[in-house]
Amino acid sequence: MQEAAENAYRTNCNFCGWKYSDQCTELIPIRCNVRKFSNEVFQMWRCQNCRCMHCWEVVDLDHYYNGYGTHQQKLDFFLRLAYREQFRRFRKSGLKREHRFLDYGCGAGLLVAYLQSRGYQHAVGYDPYGEAEGLNDASVLESRSYDFICLQDVMEHVEDPRQLIEDLSELLRPGGVLFVGMPSADEIDLNQTDKYLHQIHLPYHLHIYTEAALVQMTGKFNLKAIASYRRFYVEYPFVFGMNMAFVRRYVRCSDDTSDALLDPPRVRSVLCSPALLFDGIFGYFYSPQHAITVVFRAPP
């Protein structure tokens, strides 16, 4: 395992300040779910006060992001279908074509590409670990006039979420909207780490918060929660395979890494597996709802 940075560990909850104690809190060993580092094991603990969760080890994240498979994603049919539900949520909260849109932590920039293909030409992205040209250009953060900011699967990757929310709130226009989507500490059971391996996602997820913690942190910056969603946006009823029950079983049938979703589709394996076929058709109705998206609006 990569040496922890100066043997540093996260011993305090970065939400409520509660201090870890080995007398009342267990360190749970959990392997990395990224193929390049799948032989490495990290540890997570849950705050006994606020129920948020924290990665114990402090590691060199540049080293681990160097093997991050999702940087190689493409805007294919299935990803467009997944983004359609996210787009519906944006539109429901008032997104219009003339609005300025920032996808912060945009990865490969595929959501931005999707929005631009739908006519949203003022959509831009930023990711400090972005490899595509222009995506790590911090100049987009100099504009303080965004109508919408999307923070999807980002909060859990940063050490100081309050500072991030404060910085982004200053980029919003009056009445602007902030979307925050992340795994939910309310739903993750650390006694079933195999079941929640891909939501825990160590060592990349430094902290995983409860919904109450997210709302409380964001409310301090005069952002009001106006809507919430308990289901991950990639899920659809009656669309084969577009549910987390199917995804979970599908990757387990490979090497149980997130990279398995980027490999060529294993159609024969699916057709020969009654369990995968059943999950693909009906899994939406019993998929674990371990994600939370909260929509916030800035003061007018």
Give the pLDDT confidence score for residue 67 in this predicted structure: 67
Task: Please answer whether residues 296 and 181 qualify as being in contact, where contact means their C-beta atoms are separated by less than 8 angstroms.
Answer: no
Regions of the chain with pLDDT less than 70: 1-7, 67, 69-72, 131-133
Both tokens assigned to 19: 């201090």
Give the number of other Cβ atoms within 10 Å of residue 172's Cβ.
24
Tell me the pTM.
Answer: 0.91
According to DSSP, the residues that pair with 228 across neighbouring strands are: 294
Parallel, antiparallel, or unpaired for β 172-183 and 207-208?
A: unpaired
Give the pLDDT confidence score for residue 71 in this predicted structure: 57
Helix ranges (DSSP H) in 107-225:
110-117, 161-169, 197-200, 211-219
Token pair 């100049």 is found at 139
Token pair 């079933």 is found at 192
- Amino acid 46 reads R
Query: CA angle, corner 205, sides to 62 and 194, nearest 5?
Result: 120
Both tokens assigned to 221: 């910056």
Give the pLDDT confidence score for residue 7 in this predicted structure: 64
What tens digit of pLDDT does each residue of 110-161 get? 999 999 999 999 999 999 877 666 788 888 998 779 999 999 999 999 999 9
Token pair 């359609």 is found at 84
Give the pLDDT confidence score for residue 1 in this predicted structure: 46
Both tokens assigned to 143: 């504009």
Domains of the chain: 73-186+205-231 (3.40.50.150)
CA 278 vs CA 192, 194, 242, 245, 272: distances in Å = 23, 21, 12, 10, 11
